[in-house]
Amino acid sequence: MPDFRDDRPPPSWLGDVADGVDAWTQRAATPATPAVEDDAPRPSRTGVGRGAGSRSGGRSGGRPGGRSGSRRGRSTPPPEDPVAAGPPADPEAVARKILLDQLTGQARSRKQLADKLEAKDVPAELAERLLDRFEEVGLVDDEAFARAWIASRQPGKGLARRALAQELRRKGVADEVAREALDEIDPADEEEAARALVRKKLRSLSRVDDATATRRLVGMLARKGYGGGLAFAVVREELAQAGRDDDVLPEDPDLD
């Protein structure tokens, strides 16, 4: 029959129930692992199994080599490959393309093209040489440009010679070149354009008195470049045809 006797020495609390209970409760309260300091970080619910800062630290980029750091690394462009880039562009080819792009669908004066080349940092000597070449082949022609400008602005906007001359000057067209093109304007066409402007403006002046209507109509024609004599004559006749008083104008105004 087995011997179940225990050779171990009896515990110190043997025979006293109160001492035994105290010894058992002290042993149960003793943790198997070291106690956590009160000020030590505690893992959150989302950090269970990963540590307190494993999730948030990787997203915020505070940890070296984190997710945000890797994204920045991927966005950095690689160094340019000089072989793949090829030889540098030919300055003359670049300048020629600038001119052709500017002339596509619209005529331009030589001064306009020269200003564009200067804005693109094309050397002055190269720009001058290319513009001369473009003039030789007829791609740059200030006389043709002036005629085309007058043909588009005189009937459409009703501009007179004086206003057209100012516009051409701003475009860089020489005065003598502009004058030759302006001389081709038929005076009858210019007067008819003035009458069309007055008839159109009269529709909005039905509620003003004749003196006010006259002042506004003459002022409008003056802004369009018409001389005082022609402006007053056209306004007087158009007011009369509209059944309005034509005695508010002097017979021979000297406003040119």
User: For every residue of 49-103, which 3-state class applies, written as one string?
Assistant: CCCCCHHHHHHHCCCCCCHHHHHHHHHCCCCCCHHHHCCCCCHHHHHHHHHHHHH
Kindly state the average pLDDT of the residues 71-79: 65
* Contacts (Cβ under 8 Å, ≥6 apart) of 23: 11, 12, 13
What CA–CA distance (Å, rounded) separates 164 from 91?
A: 36
CB 220 within 8 A of CB 201: yes
Residue written as token pair 């080349």 = 117
CA distance 185 to 230: 15
Q: How far apart are CA 141 and CA 174, in angstroms?
A: 12
Tell me the pLDDT band of 85, cut-offs 50, 70 and 90.
Answer: low
Tokens describing residue 136: 């030789």
Amino acid, res. 196: A
5 conformational bin, left if phi > 0, alpha if psi -120 to 50, beta if neither:
beta
In the chain, DSSP assigns E strands to: none
**Which of the two residues, 123 and 255, has the higher pLDDT score?**
123
What is the biggest distance separating any 2 CA atoms in the chain, rounded to whole angstroms?
155
Percent of the chain predicted with pLDDT > 90: 49
Cα three-residue angle 85-86-87, rounded to 5 degrees: 130
d(CA 30, CA 182): 111
- Of the pLDDT bands very low, low, confident and very high (cuts 50, 70, 90), residue 57 is very low
Q: Is 35 helix (H, G, I), strand (E, B) or coil?
A: coil
When the pLDDT of each residue in the chain is averaged and rounded to a whole number, the result is 77
Distance CA 185, CA 182 (A): 6
Q: What is the pTM of this model?
A: 0.58
Are 188 and 215 in contact by the 8 Å Cβ rule? The answer is no
- Position 247 pLDDT exceeds 80: no
Q: Which two tokens stand for residue 189?
A: 């066409």
